[in-house]
Structures are given as structure tokens and as C-alpha cells.
Amino acid sequence: MKPYVILHMGSSIDGRIVTSQWPKEMTAAFTAIYERLHQQMRGDAWIVGRVTMAEFAEGDPRPVEAGEVFPRTTWKAPGAGKGPYAVAVDQGARLHMNIDTINGDPIVMILPETVPDNQLAELRRDGISYLFAGRHEIDLALALERIRADFGTDRLLLEGGGGINGSFRRAHRRDQPADPACCRRQREHADDLRPRRRAGNEPAACFGRATPRRRRLPALSSRITLAAAISTTQSTSARP
């Protein structure tokens, strides 16, 4: 069985997800709300792509020369006894973290079996767990099965970036979207950034995607508000 997967992403109403390009007044408040939702969803792990995980790396790469051939089986670091885990999909085995946790969450790498032994030696030196999901390319279905079996992950938060989100969507490996959408409230902005309206010209909350249940969150400023769209879809293969 695979874990229950929740897509947890923030975007502007026109689909922008790179917060460095958002209005400065919004970023800090939005991050606080995003992290609060992260905690409230109580994931056993959160998963991101290589580019997003690289933002957490510290220092320059410190290569290791492997003195042996490592088996292509899951290796769990001594300090990774329990989650939540910080998981990365590293297709090309190019991440050099130099740390073993992110905000206290033990790091786990998902790798192809063709990864060089030098990379595995580096991960072991740094105390980073890893598992394999496919020989040449990452098989997301297999990755989900193994992260549940080997790390006890029942509930997984998918947190970007756009590449891995798209991969999960194309592979139909996402059970529930939880997508906060930021909406500008001033009318001088472009049409696609204006809140939608209900009958009677009453302002409505702005949502990035239509879903069965909608919940309004606090305003980030006098001009920007945040709304979360959360689907109630349940997976038949895993419990929420």
C-alpha cells in the first residue's frame, strides 16, 4: 500500500509559485500560514523535488570516495528512527546536503539504482537515509510503497516544486489537493487576479481550483487575502 498523498502548495491566483517574485508585504505572512497548515495536516513526511530540496543544503559539496559497493536496498540512518521525514526525489543523484535533518525532520533520498556508490557513501557519511525506486528512472508508485513500508509513512505532504507536483499528477499519485491561493482585492489589478463574485455583486473568496469544500483564511494585508481550497476526496488505497 502507498501513503495518503496531500498536495500542499501555495500559489497566486494566476498560478505563480515562486514566492521571491511575490509582493514583499505578503511573503512572511503567507509563509506563516502555509507552515501552520503544514503542521495542522499532521503528515508523517513531506516530499519535494531536487531543486526545492537544494535550497536547504549547507556549504559546498564534499565528495566521498566509496571504498565498497553498496547494496541497492533501503538504508536507514541511525538518527532516522521516527518522522516526520523530509523526503526528496533525486533522479540524477545530484544533491549534496551536508546536513541530516531539516528543522529536526530526518532527510530521506529517493534514488534510482544507477546512483554511483560515491553518492551513497556521501549520504551515509552525512547520516541521510535513502531508498531505491526504479533502476534508471524513479518509479513514483514504487517510491510511495517503499516509503510507507520502510519508514512507516501513512500520510505524505507533497510540497513542490512544480516539476514533482506535475509528475505526481500525471502518475495519478495525488489523493487530495490542499492549495492555498493568494488573491489581490484591488480592482486595478489584472482580471485574472481579481476575486470572483457571486450573485448580487457580493465579493467571493478567490480559489486557484474548484473543489467541494472551501475555507477562508486571514487576510495577509489590506490588499491581499488568502483562501484555501481543500478537496474532500478520499483514497480507496489508503486511509486519510
Could you tell me what percent of the chain has a pLDDT over 90? 52
> What number of other Cβ atoms are within 10 A of residue 184's Cβ?
22
Between the alpha carbon of residue 234 and those of residues 76, 94, 125, 230, the distances in Å are 30, 35, 40, 12
pLDDT tens-digit profile of 17-35? 777 777 777 787 788 888 8
The mean per-residue pLDDT over the stretch 42-67 comes to 95
Q: What is the pLDDT of residue 201?
A: 39
The mean per-residue pLDDT over the stretch 65-91 comes to 96
Which of the two residues, 121 and 179, has the higher pLDDT score? 121
pLDDT reading at 12 higher than 50: yes
CA separation for the pair 76, 19 (Å, rounded): 33
pTM: 0.74
The mean per-residue pLDDT over the stretch 92-120 comes to 97
Q: What is the pLDDT of residue 173?
A: 63
> What number of other Cβ atoms are within 10 A of residue 233's Cβ?
12
Q: What is the pLDDT of residue 140?
A: 94
Q: What is the pLDDT of residue 178?
A: 55
Which of the two residues, 203 and 85, has the higher pLDDT score? 85
pLDDT confidence tier of residue 235, bands split at 50, 70 and 90: very low
The mean per-residue pLDDT over the stretch 105-122 comes to 98
